[in-house]
Structure 1
């Protein structure tokens, strides 16, 4: 519920309670006053009857009733009857037949009321002992007082309703105008959330709470806008720097390919004896040339990896041709066995596969994904560690194929697992360099899988091996050609 509606509702409820309490007290006081006046008159009349008992007894013995503004009744042991008062209609009189000297004692000389026979009015009665066997009762009709009280209540209800309506309308307008600065704050916050950081809250009177709030918010918004602008400039500078760095890496890699190819070519010529050197058949010279050839080969691999990452960073669409992952995984396992025949490398087709594991993608790049993962497992695990390539489907997900490479090696720590897909990151730098790695294999895997619309995850723990799981959609990536 809006705040203005809540405030006006509470205000109207409070005023309603106040008017109700005031009306109740006023009506009660007026009723008590009127009854007190009537009671005083009745006491005067009853005393005049008691002071003249002979005349009163004569009145009580009258067989008929005299009309009069007040009521006089006499009661003995047989009951009571009205001897004076009321109009011609006997139903407008109270039933005093049950009043006797014994029953009148229960009122303890206090005034009491009786309803008329027709139930339309009430009578206020007072009694006094006239003789041992006779009680005289005086009464007055309260219908006039009841009409006055009813009229008062009606006037209070009408006036109260008008007051509440006027108060509700005036309160709503007043609260709405008072809360208008908060509505401006709401609209400003919505505009800022939509991206317009230049919006400000209209300035208000600083002598009011809302005005001071507006000033504080404007100051905060100015600082926030400045912080966002500084962050935006920093991000733009970082993106520009990253773009320049990627361009430099791509350009440098292109420029390095030719001299590296030449170095490798000359080293191979020397190794095959096609070119004579100063060292001749000197073993030391041959060893140095072999080192030059090996390092040139490793640098060539690094350059090729950098070029591939640069092309992947451009997010060019990949081919979308049918690729049999069983064939790709089988070739990767066969190559691993050929490279390290003493290692246990196996291919497992999981029972969860509901169809042939064929996906749409670039076969050459998917072969590189599986090959890099298998090579990574062979490089970072002991020779007696088993390596398993598994093809499976996630339960309830037949639209994708999962290729996982699991090893029984030493595993990785949580810190290493978080950074394993970063470029040039090596959990064991010395071992990776000794094996000829560039530190880019898993980065290339991550980029190639993302280019195919898939995901790659790592599950590992120290001493529990590692599992790299690649999930590839069967339909291929969006925007593929």
Structure 2
């Protein structure tokens, strides 16, 4: 099928200009048409009123019948204005006589009154006998069955309406040209925010993700669009940054995991090759090789178990949900630590806060909702971490109590405090377990990264005694999974205080 209409303009500015021009043109045409019809109707009504009000005098009928009407050339002012009167006898036959000036072609009338098609009191329009003129005619009854047709030319009406039509055409043309010129300027000014948005979008496409849209006035549609787009760009930038950070962490994690696994694998491979050599070895050498192989295999197994646990906790952590007594949990962990290691004295005491540095005299009950096995695991991990990373004889203090989340108690951020989890709402009732040692502490740089996976504060430390660097990362993930967090307060020479913070027990609360 052939397309008859031209394709619409693709530019929004052109479509708006064309649409506004078409609407305005339609409005002007409608107003002109209404004005034309009203004016023409009014002029015709004025002519009809004149026809209705004019009645030929009775003697004129008899004079027309007797042929005594004055010659139009002799008495041009017999009738007012441009009136013409044509007479018919009682039988309806035209008398071929008339009153009025003969300066212009008269109306085209039939010789028989029956063929006129006129009704008393109802004017009609008929053409002139020659030319383009038109006449308005009205049938008037006369005496003795005679009748007269009173006529007026419509030259004035046609001239006025013709001039109005030409004037309307000129005004329409001027209006269209003006609308096209002013419409382009007004619409360009109105679309200026969109033009700025387009330029900003080009800058963002070029890689400048920090650029934002300048028009954000909520009182305008474009301003609201700008606010929404800026919010979307903020989220997009954060998502890209998070993705880059995640990819960097993943690459670092894979590299660290490979580095950690390479050492025991290399040792196992070396001792296995040594055992397979054909030279005879003494029983002591064989036992020593087997011991090193078993030791490195165990270390690699522990590392793989930690990696698998972290992967499980990151993907779909599953925790039991039951009331947990933090005080009993801490007491069991302290008892187990005291039995397994006498080099680091461990004691259990009440919680110290900034408002009460000396702490309470008696231990208070502190409960939360969670998985007691996982919570015991992370507490034992913290105690083990304190034994491993402090010199022998360093005292370790375990403190338990309840408080409200805040900078002086725990659960929120403050200068000198680090955590891998978001802060809790300030003022939230919390249960707290602190594991504080009197060791050398950490400098701010190490404290900032201590919860990262495979991070070691002392790069020269032996892996046989320092662990793989996953313990604190596991503790932080489990704590956050229970709706709490693990945080660290430390300074060089002031020891380390690892603080487990959990919301207090609530019947409807479940770990995340």
More helix by share: 1
TM-score, normalising length: structure 1: 0.49
Give the TM-score of the pair, scaled to structure 2: 0.46
